[in-house]
Structure 1
């Protein structure tokens, strides 16, 4: 059934990290580039797949999975149970899930507020938002990574790919300074062959889009 995997994305979106994970898994998939500059993500055909008009989206046969964290989780459990995602009975799954959804929720929220220049004033306001303060979030990230090299120690998981994508964007966009453990994890993920393959594929996909215009 893996041959029925269709990945709707664009190299400039959050799909970059999922693209790396697909390459890591080594399962057959079709990359369907959505031209966001041309507004294709807001056209009826794509909205019938993802009504939010957001990227990425994964289609597996008749199944549709949206939201990056959900896609990471689905791929890991479906194609590499116990390898990139601890099994249900494994106590390590608790930290794995925490890291995976920390990346997509708390961490991304905090980083994007900083990127967009949004500030939160007052203790009550900080209590109301999902992360409180960026400094606290980054400190929590350092604790989450722990001794490394990965979130689960020596075991690489989908959570590392999710975090790696966030950290890569943070550095490239010069959002904020990261702690030493976060930087070390980013470098560790960049060293993987899957990262390089996805990076080269992304360049080729962008070139195809440009030539088609």
Structure 2
């Protein structure tokens, strides 16, 4: 099994547990716990894994969503799953944050190109056609721990305050070498 996933770690809120989420918005129907691993299901479908005492395996210095997990962490998780006979293999990380190019705009919304497709998002001041913005796709866990869900727009424009870059809610505008549709790894 090679699912897309998101990792979340916040010891002050959850204790020393790493959340591996495959379907963050799906409710659990049951779970199985073996030692320090809890496997979470919706019916027969795997939706997440919680790894307790993660500091026994690796020191994690990130808090909240781990936007760009290092390869060593992915290897440790895959080894842990294999040792626990859990049929999961985590591929290299795919970010829920992508770079979109502003191609159309009006007073209330913008249209962004992600390369192969277009999505809409709420308009911000001081944006212009051609800007490359960081956006969160639906289902992405934001650095605050909230899940971006599909609303009246298809994407959420990420701001500096959202990522702790500054206290201002200015959209994150990136420059080359980023390309539209490319994952944004913070």
TM-score under structure 2 normalisation?
0.26
Higher strand proportion: 2
Q: Which has the higher helix share?
A: 1
Q: Which has the higher contact order (CA 8 A, sep 6+)?
A: 1
